[in-house]
Amino acid sequence: MPDALPSKKPEPQWAAFVALDWGDQKHYWKLQDAASPQCRGGELDNTPEALESWAADLAYRYAGGPIAVCLEQSRGAVVYQLSKYPHLVLFPVHSTTSARFRQAIRPSGSKSDAEDCAVLLDLLLHHRDCLRRLDPDSAETRLLQLLVEQRRTFVNERTRHSNRLTNWLKMYFPQVLDWIDNIDSPLGCDFLERWPTLEQLQHSRRGTVHEFFLQHNSRSEERIEERIAAMYAANPAVRDKAMLDAGPMITKEIVGLVRALNSAIEELDKRIEKLTEAHPDKAVFANVPGAGPALLPRLIVAFGTKRERYQTAAELQRYSGIAPVTEQSGKTRYVHVRRACPKFLRQTFHEFAGHSLNKSAWARAFYDQKRSEGQGHHAAVRALAYKWIRVLFRCWKSNTPYDEQKYVQALQKRHAPLVNLLGTGVKWKNVAGFQKLCLENS
């Protein structure tokens, strides 16, 4: 979720301007009064007590007047600690921005904490219109944001450990990858924890193995019998004693890590579900095709609850990185993916657009059209995400729940070219009380 975006609010009468070069042990700061060109600076210990004393001193010195603070951090310990002071208005600056600005005014490449502070102060004083004032969303939305981002981190970690587990199994016990569809699932973890080697598995009774699959909700007797027959007919992949000793031991350790991540993801899912159900914007995105339990809260977080944050859909398209970048010089013109953007936000829209392909007929038709024009898969999905942002932006801005049927009818009313791709036999069916476009008829 974007906390830092260009604010449309009028600027207050600033009492002072501060640049803060934060560090792991010490913070260096530089201050200039609004009514005086003279600057002063100093150092702070990186402790909550030191920041508290420093902020209280600024509030006393300037009678609680607003103070603009520029720092190279949009989220982190320092930002969260400074956000509790109402007289401090934060202007986060990307580290690349300050580095290039410093290189422009100091081509020699000299660098120090004092010089970095001077660069940040120059940016704040003379280029404040290009900076983004920190404007945090509601507490419930920020909590949801932290949880969905952490969930994604855990999922990525589970994928990493699952790949490591797969690599080890390929070396000494590859057959299990054919018998278990998802090796990082509870079924896969329990199987490997009980039978980490083919030898141990083949020494078990057939009835025990059969019962194991039944207890893990494997109800296809045919599939179970196929697995069991393959297990007892399998031959050892290796006979190297070193590998047969190391493989099971490392497998069990990785399985433990995967189990812990599965448990953490499950707990996060429960909390995210409760927060999503109670969120005021849930109704806006609840019927969006492709927005399931994982993507629905991410869409809520992507837009946020502050309607004044974006004036147009194009602002969100550019900020999220979905809108492409055009570079042009003379007769040369180059369009490419926007790289300087919040990666999680861009990933949210990209993944959602991909999931909508099997749930929305117009989204599939739009994607197929882009593919027929020669675009690659990801380029076509980004183009679809670009269109989805425009559609959902209108719903979000007006606090109107998305309705697939109304949107297709609107396309037909204005004779949009996309309607021709849907065909003439557009029909609707009732699914769980909602009208859904029949994909087979489109």
pLDDT of the residue at 130: 86
Q: What percent of the chain has pLDDT over 70?
A: 93
State how far the Cα of 81 lies from the Cα of 58, in Å rounded to an integer. 15
pLDDT of the residue at 431: 52
pLDDT of the residue at 438: 53
Domains annotated on the chain, with CATH: 16-136 (3.30.420), 142-275 (1.10.287.4070), 282-441 (no CATH)
State how far the Cα of 69 lies from the Cα of 23, in Å rounded to an integer. 16
Confidence of residue 95 (pLDDT cuts 50, 70, 90): confident
Q: Is the pLDDT of residue 441 over 70?
A: no
Report the mean per-residue pLDDT for the chain.
88
- Give the CA count within 13 Å in the CB-facing half-sphere of 441: 9
pTM of this prediction? 0.84
User: 179-198: per-residue pLDDT in tens?
Assistant: 999 999 999 999 999 999 99
Say which residues have a Cβ less than 8 Å from residue 377's Cβ, sequence separation at least 6: 371
pLDDT of the residue at 430: 54
Cα 45 off chain centre by: 33
Q: What percent of the chain has pLDDT over 90?
A: 62
Helix axes 295-303, 139-172, angle to 10 degrees: 140
**Number of Cβ atoms within 10 Å of the Cβ of 370:** 18
Range with lowest mean pLDDT among 119-123, 248-252, 373-377, 423-427: 423-427
Mean predicted confidence (pLDDT) in 76-89: 88
Q: Is the pLDDT of residue 154 over 60?
A: yes
**Conformational region of residue 63, where left means phi above 0, alpha means psi within -120 to 50, and beta covers everything else:** left
Q: Is the pLDDT of residue 22 over 90?
A: no
* 190 to 14, 179, 416: CA distances (angstroms): 62, 13, 53
pLDDT of the residue at 437: 47
Say which residues have a Cβ less than 8 Å from residue 132's Cβ, sequence separation at least 6: 4, 5, 6, 7, 91, 92
Confidence of residue 245 (pLDDT cuts 50, 70, 90): very high
User: 29-80: per-residue pLDDT in tens?
Assistant: 999 998 888 888 888 888 899 999 999 999 999 999 999 999 887 777 888 8
Mean predicted confidence (pLDDT) in 105-117: 79
Q: Are strands 39-45 and 26-33 parallel, antiparallel or unpaired?
A: antiparallel
